[in-house]
Amino acid sequence: MSRVQLTSAAESDLEEILVFIGRERASPEAGARVVEAILSKAHVYAHHPLLGTDLPELDSTTRAFVVYSYVVLYQPDADGIHIVRVIHSAQDLLGALGLA
pLDDT in tens, 57-74: 888 999 999 999 999 999
Q: Residue 25's pLDDT is what?
A: 79
Q: Residue 28's pLDDT is what?
A: 85
Within the chain, which residues score under 70 in pLDDT? 1, 100
The answer to pTM > 0.95 is no
Pick the CATH number of 3-91 from 3.30.2310.20, 3.30.56.10, 3.10.450.50, 1.10.760.10: 3.30.2310.20
Tell me which residue of 9, 19, 17 sits closest to 70, measured CA to CA.
17
Q: Residue 1's pLDDT is what?
A: 66
Crossing angle between the packed helical segments 8-24 and 28-47, to the nearest 10 degrees: 150
Q: Residue 84's pLDDT is what?
A: 96
